[in-house]
Amino acid sequence: MAIDQDKLGAFLGKAVGDLGATLSAALVVIGEKLGLYKAMAGAGPMTSAELAGKTGTAERYVREWLAAQAAGGYVTYDAPTGRYTLPEEQAFALAVDDSPAYLPGAFQLITSVLKDEPKLTEAFRTGKGVGWHEHDPGLFEGTERFFRPNYIANLTSSWIPALEGVEAKLKKGARVADIGCGHGASTILLAKAYPNSTFAGFDYHGPSIEKANQRAAAAGVADRAKFHVAKAKEFPGKDYDLVAFFDCLHDMGDPVGAAVHVRQSLAKDGTWMIVEPFAGDKVEDNLNPVGRLFYAASTMVCTGASLSQEVGLALGAQAGEARLREVVTGGGFTRFRRATQTPFNLVLEARP
Ligand SMILES: C[S@@+](CC[C@H](N)C(=O)[O-])C[C@H]1O[C@@H](n2cnc3c(N)ncnc32)[C@H](O)[C@@H]1O
């Protein structure tokens, strides 16, 4: 083998960064669960003993955790005083639950998916699916908490206004179905923003629907946001003004079948909003940090989820607009366009 030492060194350097990041995912989960970030937020420089005292945790572990956080750039370290500080930007992303940049949910999702590696390794051998419901339960809450900040940041301020005529209908009073709703984060945000409208959330995963109903009750919108177990091809109701799919069309085995059913369930001038992970149409368009994250999630979760269902089309989380257009028009929709986008999402609008 003709090894180029510089290239090998560069690759190993990159991999060391990945190794540290992978282990540090657990440190973020620990920091959130024990309130370490919250205790540091706005508190100024602290020693490990002060942080441990404030959070009722063991100083020796906290000292090691702080050093790892400092090495990763999550906190800063002042050597002369031996004190650590959580900078304001990091506090915004790590200690403020409703911040649009809140990160710990994503780390919860990722650490839960790591536990499912043996199931996925076996699926690679057999080609069989791994259903959404077969994953570690951390995935269900992690997904909710990963996506919610993004919905807080974008849903009612830019995604809904980007759809033709939908915001006005929602303000006046519309009927909305949110399919593949998981814990109902999107449904509940919409219900809070548009008090004249009524919302039905559907998902095939029973435990998620139970959680969604609890979340709606806690948010005070249970009278207008109700959740039921149903598959995307079978959800009940007609004449919806808006049917929404948040990050779930590509998880479905038969997305074309789902499109057919959505078309039959919409009012004549209704709208189908499809939010999908941002992607270009070709693999080479997606070879970047966001694409890496989504291809990895797709390998571990989305592809197997689709393969576990009928048809098993397995679009993957990086299908791209052109492929999604084929699915949507294959379901009988005549109009399809990209309404807007973020670095993480494509927001697509389909009309009958
Ligand atoms: C990535 S999660 C997104 C959840 C939620 N929409 C959100 O944004 O937080 C995908 C969801 O699609 C659901 N799902 C997958 N296939 C489905 C199907 N055929 N019918 C209904 N729901 C489905 C899963 O149970 C899961 O809750």
The dihedrals phi and psi of 266, each to the nearest 5 degrees, come to -85, 150
pTM over 0.85, yes/no:
yes
Beta carbons of 232 and 178 less than 8 angstroms apart = no
Q: What is the mean pLDDT of the chain?
A: 98
CB of residue 187 inside a 6 A radius of ligand 1:
no
Smallest CA separation from ligand 1 atom 25, residue:
205
C-alpha of residue 121 to centroid of ligand 1, in Å = 23
CATH 1.10.10.10 maps onto the chain at 5-94
Q: In 3-state terms, what secondary structure has residue 200?
A: strand
CATH 3.40.50.150 maps onto the chain at 104-351
- Label residue 1 by pLDDT band (50, 70, 90): confident
Average pLDDT over residues 244-266: 98
CB of residue 252 inside a 6 A radius of ligand 1:
yes
CB of residue 147 inside a 6 A radius of ligand 1:
yes
Q: What is the DSSP letter of 134?
A: G
Write down the pLDDT at residue 162: 98
Which residues pair with residue 274 across a beta bridge? 245, 348
* Token pair 């209908």 in the structure block, residue: 169
Per-residue pLDDT tens digits for 36-91: 999 999 999 999 999 999 999 999 999 999 999 999 999 999 999 999 999 999 99
Between CA 104 and CA 75 the distance in angstroms is 15
Q: Which CATH superfamily is domain 104-351 in?
A: Vaccinia Virus protein VP39 (3.40.50.150)
CB of residue 247 inside a 6 A radius of ligand 1:
yes
Report H helices in the chain.
5-33, 36-40, 48-55, 59-71, 88-94, 104-115, 117-126, 138-154, 166-172, 185-193, 206-218, 255-265, 289-297, 303-307, 321-330
CB of residue 251 inside a 6 A radius of ligand 1:
yes
- Label residue 180 by pLDDT band (50, 70, 90): very high
Average pLDDT over residues 271-284: 98
Between CA 74 and CA 25 the distance in angstroms is 12
C-alpha of residue 205 to centroid of ligand 1, in Å = 8
Instruction: For Cα atoms 135, 104, 71, give the angle at the middle one, nearest 5 degrees.
Output: 120
CB of residue 186 inside a 6 A radius of ligand 1:
yes
Query: Which among 105, 113, 110, 108 is positioned nearest to 135, based on CA atoms?
Result: 113
- The pLDDT of residue 174 is above 90: yes
C-alpha of residue 297 to centroid of ligand 1, in Å = 14
Query: Under CATH, which number does the domain 5-94 receive?
Result: 1.10.10.10
C-alpha of residue 68 to centroid of ligand 1, in Å = 35
